[in-house]
Amino acid sequence: MNTAVRLSSLILICLVAVSCGRQGGSSASADKPFVPKPEKNDNVLRLGNGDEPQALDPHLVAGVMEQNILMSLLEGLTIEDPKTLQPLPGAAERWEISPDETVYTFHLRENGKWSNGDPVTAEDFRFSFERLLSPNLAAEYAYMLHIIKNAKAFNEGRIKNFDEVGVKVKGERTLEITLEAPTAYFLAVQSHFCFFPVHKATILKYGRIDQRDTDWTKPGNFVGNGAFQLVDWKVNEVIRVRPNPHYWDAATVKLSGIEFYPVKQAETEERMFRGGQLDCTSTLPLPKLDTYKKEYPHLLRSDPYLATGYYLFNVTKKPFDDVRVRRAFALTVNRQLICDRILKGGQMPAFFLTPPDTAGFTSRAALTGSLHEARKLLAEAGYPGGQGFPDVELLYNTSENHRIIAEAIQQMWHRDLGVRVSLVNQEWKAYMDTRRKLGFGLCRAGWTADYNDPMTFLDLFVTDGGNNNTGWSSPAYDQAIAEARRTSGSTRLEAFQKAEAILAAELPILTLYHYRTVDLVHPRVQGWYPNQLDHHPYKFVSLKAD
């Protein structure tokens, strides 16, 4: 009985598969290009958002999917221009910068309001920064605020009094921030979620200032100052937001709401898009890319994206404690082939970390060398032809696309170096945990820029950096980054060049490719401009009616 059911379902699947194959062929010959018919015409933007967010507390998250949601609910001192990403006035109406570029005075707008009607005050911002920097909150992203004077010392518990930190309330609507050193990207980074304000009264109503995971982010409790407010949060199902009537620029908001769907499987997401259930996807299954390029190019979006994919080496353990082994592994990967034949979305082979032309910076140092050299290095390290090479695991977070790439690279190492690497996949939370504890030999990773500056990439690998995850540490590298933090202009760029040169020589990571966004966007979505961070401030987005 059981078998019969299974058998018939299998046969059915086969039949469906064959008929689908035919359908694909016929639609190509149709006259009008295929456009998914939206399931509902209620002016609500529906987005595929990859996975369930860790939380909706801007001080406790670290991912792209959380950024996508939080930028609808909260607003920093500045917001981004949807096309150029240049800072525009957000919660702050205007600001003054001291001649030495270390003191920023922000003037909050008169009509800035929280979603419960309370005015947005300078004290709210001061409170938020204090919260993020509280040692007890242990926020992953606290290091982003270390550019503020004494913030690092407070975050590390060396200063107990927040008044010593460079954040001062100068009036109900005036906030003065003093920096450690001139920081060119300081205005732009205000639109990153770690600089978002939280409503002081709400936080204190549901817990202490430095208490994690209180109820304040639940629908009904959440108070934000963004263009939208939280309506509904069904775990693993959907997060709904609708326009915030108290928002200072409510007139600009055109959408009637946004729904974020945590769809983990790229195939499911793509199917939902075709069925008109989603307006935008977060990714696209690799095998489908060719079909979309050929038959539905009007639905496909592939834009430059400041992000780099790489593999982390665990340099604390054999065999990757030896730079020769790391170099041999890095040289063997045929990045061009991966970009051309697997990714196919216009990604660029990465021979250094920072994507080319990030705020005018392109690394001079790059990984170069031949396969011959790779084999020689491996032999010198004591593994001629891969003999005696220990068992090594390559860890990746569960995803069809990551697996396809990992299998191809696994073959390259096997074929050209004679080395066997086994693949291990884990779901996101377990993967992040193993990664932080260095429970791997090699580990897939990717970094998306938080702001348009090389610093967002290069400060990853400072000693004990929150996202270093390799165990690697270099005083010269730390020094170069510290120098870049202190200086500006060409001196600063030279410091970055130094850092990239150290990375290219010591190779704590194996850079793979510089990303492009590859996803699907429905033609009815307006104001969804290509930009380097793939940020799309929702108040500028609208839906074209049929």
Q: Which stretches of the chain bind other proteins, using CB under 8 A?
A: 2-3, 6-7, 10-11, 13-14, 16-18, 20-21, 24, 267, 285-288, 290-291, 337-338, 341-342, 400, 403-404, 406-408, 410-411, 414, 422-426
Residue linked to tokens 């709904």: 240
Shortest reach from residue 391's CB to other proteins, in Å: 10
Q: Would you say 353 and 509 are in contact if contact means Cβ atoms under 8 Å apart?
A: yes
Return the number of the residue (137 or 342) whose C-beta is nearest other proteins.
Answer: 342
Taking CA atoms, 517 is separated from 115, 443, 514, in Å, by: 33, 22, 10
Return the number of the residue (250 or 412) whose C-beta is nearest other proteins.
Answer: 412
Q: ∠ CA(251), CA(257), CA(259), 5° rounding?
A: 150
Report residue 116 as tokens. 């419960």
Give the orientation angle of helix 266-274 with respect to helix 400-417, to 10 degrees.
140
Shortest reach from residue 68's CB to other proteins, in Å: 25
Return the number of the residue (379 or 408) whose C-beta is nearest other proteins.
Answer: 408
Shortest reach from residue 132's CB to other proteins, in Å: 35
Return the number of the residue (42 or 290) whose C-beta is nearest other proteins.
Answer: 290
State the virtual CA torsion across 349, 352, 358, 364 in degrees, nearest 10: -110
Element (H, E) at 108: strand 103-108
Shortest reach from residue 405's CB to other proteins, in Å: 9
Q: Would you say 151 and 143 are in contact if contact means Cβ atoms under 8 Å apart?
A: no
Shortest reach from residue 343's CB to other proteins, in Å: 11
Q: Please state whether 443 falls in left (phi above 0), alpha (psi between -120 and 50) or beta.
A: beta
Return the number of the residue (7 or 476) whose C-beta is nearest other proteins.
Answer: 7
CA gap 238, 257 in Å, rounded: 13
Q: Would you say 260 and 238 are in contact if contact means Cβ atoms under 8 Å apart?
A: yes
Give the orientation angle of helix 400-417 with respect to helix 371-380, to 10 degrees.
70
Return the number of the residue (82 or 285) whose C-beta is nearest other proteins.
Answer: 285
Return the number of the residue (331 or 342) whose C-beta is nearest other proteins.
Answer: 342
Return the number of the residue (254 or 344) whose C-beta is nearest other proteins.
Answer: 344
Shortest reach from residue 235's CB to other proteins, in Å: 20
Shortest reach from residue 349's CB to other proteins, in Å: 14
Shortest reach from residue 286's CB to other proteins, in Å: 7
Taking CA atoms, 507 is separated from 66, 414, 471, in Å, by: 30, 20, 12
| Signed CA dihedral, 427, 299, 230, 131: sign only | positive
Shortest reach from residue 413's CB to other proteins, in Å: 12
Return the number of the residue (288 or 524) whose C-beta is nearest other proteins.
Answer: 288
**DSSP designation for 344:** -
**DSSP designation for 462:** S
Shortest reach from residue 73's CB to other proteins, in Å: 34
Return the number of the residue (273 or 472) whose C-beta is nearest other proteins.
Answer: 273
* Residue 110 C-alpha from the chain's centroid: 33
Q: Please state whether 357 falls in left (phi above 0), alpha (psi between -120 and 50) or beta.
A: left
- Please give the sequence-ordered ranges of beta strands (E in DSSP) within 207-319, or none if there are none: 228-234, 238-243, 257-261, 300-313
The Cβ of residue 31 has, within 10 Å, a number of other Cβ atoms equal to 4
Return the number of the residue (221 or 236) whose C-beta is nearest other proteins.
Answer: 236
Shortest reach from residue 181's CB to other proteins, in Å: 47
